[in-house]
Chains A and B, each alone.
Chain A
C-alpha cells in the first residue's frame, strides 16, 4: 500500500463515516457537525487529487461558512420537541420509508447506467496539469462566463427572495 492510497482510503472512510452519521445520528447538532467533518474529508480528497484551490474553497465556503450558519441556527432551537416530532408518527414514518425507497431506486438506476470508461484517464490528467487555479479562472471567465454569471444572479435572487419572505411573514424583521 503506497502513501497515496493509504491517504485516499483514510480520507474516504472519514468522509463516508461523516456522511452516514449525518443521517444515522438523531441529534441535529451532531448531524451538522458530522456533515462538517464529511466536508473537510471531501476537501482533503480534492487536495490529494492536486486540486488545491477547489479544496481550499470547499473548506472556506462549505465547512467554514454555510455549515457554521446551520450549526448556529440549530443551536437556537429547542431540540427536544424537534426530535419528538421528527421521530414519531405513522404518516411521517411512511413518508420516510417512501423517500428512502425513491432514493435507493435512483441510486440503483444511476449505478446500472453508469460506465467507468475513461475514468482513470481523467484522473491522471487532473493530477498532471500544473497551475489548476489559473486554468480554472480562465475557464470560468471565458468559456463558462454566462453560466457563471447566471449562477451569481440566481444566488442574488435567492438572497433577495429570502429577505422578502422573512419581512412579509412577520418575525423580527417584519414591516410595520
Chain B
C-alpha cells in the first residue's frame, strides 16, 4: 500500500475515487444511450427535464429510489437480494486495475493513476470478470421464475463460451508485448511505429506504434467478444424481451434493477478501457512518447513535480477520450444491429471466433519466433 501514512491515505482515497468515477459515469452513459438511440432512430429521446434532458437522470434516480420494494413469493430471499450487490463487484474491481494516466511523480512519491497496479494485470481482470456469471445465475435462480431462470442459463452459457474466445484473442497480444502488465503494454505502444524485422529496424513516421496495426484480427475478436461478455446487443440473448420478458432481471425493480444496470455499464467501461489499452496505445497521445510530453510540460510550468502532474492530466484526458469513443461504439452498435438467434450466437462463438483466435495465437507465435532470429 505504501511507506508513509500520506502515501497509504492517497492510495485508499484513490480506490474510492475510481469506484465513484465508474458509478458517476453511468447516469451520463444512460443519458447518452437514450439520446443517442433517439438520434439514430430519428426521434428526440428525453429532452424535457432540464437542458438537453440532462436532468432526466436525477428524476430517474429519484424514481428508482422511491419505487415499491418487493420480493416475489417464490423467490429465495438471500440470493434475490445478494445478486444485485454482487453485480457491482466484478466491474468495479476490474476497472480499478486499468491504468488511466502515466504515474505521477511528486517529490519522493510515485502514484499510479489507477486503483492498484497488479503485476499480472490482465490475468486478474479476466479472473474477476469471469465471476460475473454467478451474479446472473443467482439472480435468475433466486427469482423463482422460469423466464428468469431461462434467461440466466442462456446468459451464463454465453458468457462462458465467449470467455474462451476473449481469452485466446489476447494471447497473441500478450506474446507480442511480452508482459501481462497493462502499464508495460502501454509503455511499449509509445511514439511512432518501429519494430525489428529479421534484424532490420522498420520505422514509420506517420503511424502510431499501436497494437491494432500488429494484431488487427485480435482487436476485432476481442471487441466482438466483449459485447457478448457484457450482454449487450447484438448478444443480449439474456434479456430477449420478445421471448423471456426481460431475462434474469424480470423480477427486479427499482434500485435493485439499477444496480444490474450499473454492473452492465461497468463491464462496458472495462471493455472499452482494455480495448484502448491493448490496441490503441492506452493513455498515450498518438505519435508522442511520455518523455516528449513531460519535456513539453517542463518547459511550460518549470517545476518537475507540476510537470509530472500536467503530464498525468494530459494522459488522463487522452485516455478518457479513447474510452468515450469505445463507449459510444457500444451504444451505436446496440441501436444498429439486430439480435442474433441463439444457435447463431453459439456457432459464432465456438465455430468461428474460437478457431480464428487459435489461428491468430499460433501464427503470432511463429512470426514472433521467426522475426526475432537473425538469419
Binding site for B on A (CB under 8 A): 29, 33, 36, 40, 43, 52-53, 55-57, 59-60, 63-65, 68-69, 71-72, 75-76, 133
Contact = CB atoms under 8 A, between A and B. Distances in A.
B16 interface: no
B138 interface: yes
Interface string B105-127: 00000000000001110011011
Interface residues of B, number: 26
B133 interface: yes
Given A60-B130, A64-B160, A71-B134, 14 more contacts: A43-B127, A53-B123, A53-B180, A56-B123, A57-B123, A65-B160, A65-B163, A68-B156, A71-B156, A72-B157, A75-B137, A75-B152, A75-B153, A133-B120
A64 B156 contact: no
Nearest to A40: B131
Contacts of A133: 120, 180
B149 interface: yes
A69 B157 CA distance: 8
Q: Which of B131, B152, B167 has the most CB of A within 10 A?
A: B131
Contact of B133 (A40, A57, A59, A68): A68
Contacts of A65: 130, 160, 163
B260 interface: no
B124 A56 contact: yes
Q: Which of B127, B137, B156 has the most CB of A within 10 A?
A: B127
B141 interface: yes
B121 to A, nearest CB: 9
Chain A interface, DSSP helix/strand/loop, else mixed: helix
B92 to A, nearest CB: 15
B128 interface: yes
20 contacts: A29-B141, A33-B138, A52-B118, A56-B124, A56-B127, A57-B123, A59-B127, A59-B131, A60-B163, A60-B167, A63-B130, A63-B131, A64-B130, A68-B134, A68-B137, A68-B156, A69-B160, A72-B153, A75-B152, A133-B120
Contacts of B160: 64-65, 68-69
A59 B137 contact: no
Contact of A52 (B123, B128, B137, B152): B123
Nearest to B123: A56
Contacts of B118: 52
A33 B131 CA distance: 11
A38 B159 CA distance: 22
A75 B142 CA distance: 10
A33 B134 contact: yes
A29 B157 CA distance: 17
Contacts of A60: 123, 126-127, 130, 163, 167
Contacts of A69: 160
Contacts of B120: 52-53, 56, 133
Given A52-B120, A60-B126, A76 B153 contact: yes
Contacts of B124: 52, 56
Contact of A64 (B140, B141, B153, B163): B163
Contacts of A64: 127, 130-131, 133, 160, 163
A30 to B, nearest CB: 9
Nearest to B78: A30
Nearest to B137: A71
A52 B117 CA distance: 13
